[in-house]
Amino acid sequence: VQATLFGRLALFIAYVDQAAYAPQEVERRRGDAAWLRSEARLHERLSLRALAHGAFVPARLLHVFPHRLALEEAFAENDARWSRALTRFAEKREFALHVFAGPHSAPGGETYLVRVAGRVSRSIRRVPLKASDAIAARVGELWRGCARHASAVRRVEGVAARGLVGSTVYLVAADAAESIPLLVTKAALTDAELGLTYYLEGPRAPFSFI
């Protein structure tokens, strides 16, 4: 993977086998969990390293161009939009909060891109809570507290896990990133009496909001 200047931006690109990454082949292999996991891990590692070097936003996973000319044409068409995305998201980070009640297994196994960012709802509708009134009140209070520090909130859908009450993702200014962990740590201490367990992931690049 190399950084290549295009106008005012630098794009991280990699040259790949043309047949192995042809559009129809990529679509076919999206159902291959091991292959998709490998691609997502590379994407995540690159994003983590790039964040340490300056303003950066990730492209979508498996953003493939058939040749260099197609990439140059895409840049000419999207330069202004990509620049706006850099301005809007470069100083933002995301946190994923997972809430469990009672016995459960810790979230994990899959890559973050597949397990969380690939399942966020584009809607910001209220997250439904299938829990007792006491648990719903505590969890709702934490979710609202985190939302007050965020510029955007999304929910994670389609996750079937024992004991899972719900998962939300928050977009937070990088200079305020400590606020979310502090809220979750405090809530974890007081809410354990109800059998609640909180898992917080982040800060990460704003994968779920790009």
Phi-psi domain of 66 (left: phi exceeds 0; alpha: psi -120 through 50; beta: other): alpha
Per residue in 149-162, pLDDT (tens digit) is: 999 999 998 877 88
Per residue in 76-123, pLDDT (tens digit) is: 999 999 999 999 999 999 999 999 998 988 887 789 998 999 899 876
Mean pLDDT, range 29-39, rounded to an integer:
92
Residue 24 pLDDT greater than 90, yes or no: yes
Q: Please state the separation of Cα 142 from the chain's center in Å.
A: 20
Burial class (CB in 10 A: 0-12, 13-18, 19+), 94: buried
Q: What is the pLDDT of residue 92?
A: 95
Assess contact for 129 and 142: CB atoms under 8 A.
no
Residue 143 pLDDT greater than 70, yes or no: yes
Percent of the chain residues past pLDDT 70, beyond the cut: 96
Mean pLDDT, range 29-54, rounded to an integer:
91
Assess contact for 150 and 172: CB atoms under 8 A.
yes
* pLDDT band, residue 35 (cuts 50/70/90): very high
Q: What is the DSSP string of 143-186?
A: HHHHHTT-SEEEEB-S---TTEEEEEEEEEEGGGTTHHHHHHHH
Residue 210 pLDDT greater than 90, yes or no: no
Residue 38 pLDDT greater than 70, yes or no: yes
Q: In angstroms, rounded to a whole number, what is the distance separating the alpha carbons of residues 11 and 56?
A: 10
Residue 62 pLDDT greater than 70, yes or no: yes
Residue 131 pLDDT greater than 70, yes or no: no
